[in-house]
Amino acid sequence: MPSNRITLIAIPFLLPPLTGVSQVVPAAELTTLFTTQAERRLINSNRYKTNVGETPQPVEIEAAPEPVQQLIRKEVIRQYRVSGITISSDGPHTVWINSLVYEDGDQLEDKSRIKVLTGDEIRVRITAPDGKQYYATSGEVLEVTYLAVVEN
């Protein structure tokens, strides 16, 4: 009996090849295999449509681009003489560098930052524009070296 069941199931699959019956589909129907022409138009219009609320802006074209300026790094060497340091209990600390008075946190003319450090040894930290730190106490001369970007 089990062989009859297999035969009955296999007959529908074997019938078209044995009888020579097959379906011929025109090429026009193959291009719209899963959708009709109207459905395909709807899918394409939704896929490629732009946002309705946005209006396209005109593209501005520049006549000629500006020439690119080359930046060169140049070594800068500065000398700073720390003439004195004053520690204040109720205000900012003061330091004299090259005979000019600066308060704690000020910048020098080359954008170097000043920080007065208190503790066992009172000293000044000068942070150069490139991030290097230099330390000095009253009466010392610092030679600060850093690379600065200069337009060519």
pLDDT surpasses 60 at 21: no
Q: How confident is the model at residue 22 (pLDDT cuts 50, 70, 90)?
A: low
Predicted confidence at residue 14, as pLDDT, reads: 55
DSSP string, 105-129: T-B-TTS-EEEEE-SSS-EEEEE-T
pLDDT confidence of residue 101: 93
Most confident region among 40-49, 52-61, 128-137 by mean pLDDT: 128-137
With cut-offs at 50, 70 and 90, classify the pLDDT of residue 62. low
Query: Nearest to residue 81, comparing CAs of 131, 145, 147, 136?
Result: 136
Q: Is the pTM of this model over 0.95?
A: no
DSSP secondary structure string for all residues of 26-86: -HHHHHTSSS-HHHHHHHHHHHHPPPSSPPPPPPP--SSPPPPPPEEEEEEEEEEEEEEEE
